[in-house]
Amino acid sequence: MMTSMSSSKASPQLFAKSVTPESALSRLFAYCNPDQVREFSPERRSLRIGGHSTTIRLERAYWTVLEEMAREEDLPLPALITRIADHCLTTNDKNLASCLRVVCLKYINISAG
């Protein structure tokens, strides 16, 4: 069951209500401390991408992964996002936030590898 959350101060107990106690998802939410719960909160950042100012809204967890990627690539965050945006355009994906989320997931999968 998917629910919409309007408050950025959600508790792990709120998430855990929609999953069974024995599920991995339930354990994930049960082990979230308050700082980790904040990773679910969306955050807007204004960046200059390709010479244009833009605002991107992503959950804090994605910003953390993008910052790690930027450090690993030795690039400022806007430069990394510009590279990703350029790739998204070549694959005909015009939704930058969606592309950034997928890139973050792929990065985590490769890093865990």
pLDDT of res. 85: 92
Are residues 33 and 76 located together in one domain of the fold? no
Are residues 58 and 16 located together in one domain of the fold? no
Question: Cα dihedral angle (101, 106, 111, 113), rounded to 10 degrees?
Answer: 150
Are residues 36 and 56 located together in one domain of the fold? no
Note down the domain range covering 23.
Answer: 9-40
- Walk along the chain (113 residues) and give the pLDDT tens digit of each residue: 333 333 444 455 555 555 566 788 888 778 888 888 888 899 999 999 878 899 999 999 999 999 999 999 999 999 999 999 998 888 777 899 999 999 999 999 999 97
In a domain, 2, yes or no: no
In a domain, 25, yes or no: yes
C-alpha 71/C-alpha 76 separation (Å) is: 8
Are residues 28 and 62 located together in one domain of the fold? no
In a domain, 1, yes or no: no
CATH number, position 94: 1.10.3990.20
Are residues 52 and 103 located together in one domain of the fold? yes
In a domain, 3, yes or no: no
pLDDT of res. 4: 37
pLDDT of res. 34: 80
Nearby residues of 14 by Cβ (< 8 Å), 6 or more positions away: 5
